[in-house]
């Protein structure tokens, strides 16, 4: 278990917006009466940087951002199980570069959607409970991670349908895993966090031959020698409550709990003592009224900015790599008074989407109509307080 050293005070960002960017609402979409649990832009293929996908209920929908703030529906997929509720979706591709979507949720099944041919490509069964998040390996976008309520993280090859690795066991999470992420440049490292209040760093280096084998496997996927990774290389006690979102920022980690802030920190591992080390908390990005769990932040491709909502329907956009941190904008809208559970920034951060729930909620569930609000970078000032 890593320790947080004493005497190292993090830099806390001021809550006065710099107005480096001006945002305005350009469009709002309503997807029936089912909640939207996921919104994600395509970072995998430069041809589709203006496309984003949403997931909610048993439906996954693909949209395209056009000129003048127009949003066009490109495709929509309805799962055969009407009781399915997708919680997460991620863009990926096969080894030929064809765009895929990978969605998962309540049933614990990953659906791989071939968007080029407009059909289900594969379905992966393995998790023992619901799937909370899916992330794609940016260097090998045929690989995806899934985080589950069953306390495990799984690594999949969507090209061959193989579950390569399972991160669980003696040193694994002791409650739901809520978020996962691949390191942007170190292909062996991943992070995970969850309801056991920890962030864990894992290494795949010892098992990489199995990852390579998954691309050439010709037998049944069920016969593949899936390996368990039981011990993380680092366990960080940065937060004292549920950790619902974490992302690599280079070799640093940006994570969020229910403490009204995002935290940027550096893990300092001991090479000779796996799992041990210290945590250097570098910066904090305040987000007032963000004290309920399962509110996730998003970043642009280069991690220059992070957008996060709060329980009062406001969105805070922080410049992540500034020291001290700079609040780019604080956004609000007269029709947005309820928690904003998630946002999705575009490749260059000039626009993003936010799932805005209208009505009451309970136990982390959104019960009534959600609206998808697209915020677009503009010189026109948006209502900010």
pLDDT, tens digit, for every residue of 242-262?
999 999 999 999 999 999 999
Structure confidence at residue 5 as a pLDDT band (50, 70, 90): low
The larger pLDDT score, comparing residue 380 to residue 210, is at: 210
Of all residues in the chain, the percent with pLDDT exceeding 70 is 89
User: Whole-model pTM above 0.85?
Assistant: yes
Q: How many angstroms separate the CA atoms of 316 and 184, rounded?
A: 24
Residue 357, pLDDT above cutoff 90 = no
The larger pLDDT score, comparing residue 357 to residue 98, is at: 98
- Residues forming a β-bridge with 333: 336
Residue 181, pLDDT above cutoff 60 = yes
Q: How many angstroms separate the CA atoms of 116 and 8, rounded?
A: 51
| Amino acid 81: pLDDT | 95
pLDDT tens by residue, 101-122? 999 999 999 999 999 999 999 9
pLDDT tens by residue, 260-318? 999 999 999 877 666 678 899 999 999 999 999 889 999 999 999 999 999 998 999 99
Residue 75, pLDDT above cutoff 80 = yes
Average pLDDT, the chain: 87
Among candidate residues 212, 373, 355, the one with its CA nearest the CA of residue 295? 355
Q: Are the beta carbons of 262 and 213 closer than 8 angstroms?
A: no
Residue 363, pLDDT above cutoff 60 = no
152: which 2 tokens?
């495990």
| Amino acid 356: pLDDT | 61
pLDDT tens by residue, 210-219? 999 999 999 9
Residue 1, pLDDT above cutoff 80 = no
* C-alpha to C-alpha distances, 184 to 3, 29, 247, 316, 324, nearest whole angstrom: 25, 32, 10, 24, 24
Structure confidence at residue 79 as a pLDDT band (50, 70, 90): very high
Q: How many angstroms separate the CA atoms of 368 and 94, rounded?
A: 36
| Amino acid 2: pLDDT | 57
Residue 380, pLDDT above cutoff 60 = no
Average of per-residue pLDDT across 180-196: 97
Q: What is the total residue count of the chain?
A: 385
Q: How many angstroms separate the CA atoms of 128 and 149, rounded?
A: 8
Residue 85, pLDDT above cutoff 60 = yes
| Amino acid 277: pLDDT | 80
Structure confidence at residue 201 as a pLDDT band (50, 70, 90): very high
């Amino acid at each position: 278990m890593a320790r947080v050293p004493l005497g190292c005070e993090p830099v806390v960002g001021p809550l006065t917006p710099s107005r480096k960017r001006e945002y305005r609402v350009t469009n709002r979409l309503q997807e029936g009466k089912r909640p939207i649990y996921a919104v994600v832009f395509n970072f995998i293929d430069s041809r589709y940087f203006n496309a984003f996908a949403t997931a909610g209920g048993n439906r996954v929908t693909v949209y395209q951002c056009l000129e003048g703030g127009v949003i066009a529906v490109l495709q929509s997929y309805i799962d055969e199980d009407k009781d399915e509720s997708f919680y997460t979706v991620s863009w990926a591709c096969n080894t030929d570069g064809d765009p895929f979507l990978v969605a998962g949720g309540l049933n614990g099944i990953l659906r791989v959607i071939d968007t080029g041919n407009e059909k289900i490509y594969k379905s992966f069964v393995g998790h023992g409970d619901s799937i909370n998040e899916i992330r794609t390996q940016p260097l090998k976008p045929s690989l995806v991670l899934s985080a589950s309520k069953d306390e495990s993280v799984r690594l999949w090859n969507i090209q061959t349908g193989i579950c390569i690795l399972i991160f669980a066991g003696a040193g694994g999470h002791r409650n739901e895993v809520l978020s996962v992420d691949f390191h942007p440049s170190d292909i062996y490292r991943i992070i995970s966090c969850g309801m056991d209040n920890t962030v864990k760093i894992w290494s795949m280096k010892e098992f990489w031959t199995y990852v390579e084998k998954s691309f050439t496997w010709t037998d049944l996927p069920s016969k593949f020698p899936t390996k368990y990774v039981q011990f993380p290389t680092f366990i960080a006690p940065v937060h004292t409550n549920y950790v619902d979102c974490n992302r690599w920022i280079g070799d640093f980690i940006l994570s969020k709990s229910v403490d009204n802030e995002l935290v940027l920190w550096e893990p300092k591992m001991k090479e000779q003592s796996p799992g041990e080390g210290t945590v250097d908390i570098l910066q904090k990005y305040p987000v007032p009224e963000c004290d309920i769990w399962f509110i996730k932040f998003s970043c642009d491709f280069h991690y220059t900015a992070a957008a996060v909502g709060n329980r009062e329907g406001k969105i805070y956009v922080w410049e992540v790599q500034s020291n001290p941190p700079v609040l780019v904008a604080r956004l609000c809208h007269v029709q947005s008074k309820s928690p904003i559970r998630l946002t999705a920034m575009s490749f260059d951060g000039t626009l993003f989407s936010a799932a805005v729930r209208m009505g009451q909620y309970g136990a982390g569930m959104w019960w009534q109509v959600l609206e998808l609000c697209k915020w677009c970078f503009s010189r026109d000032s948006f209502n900010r307080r």
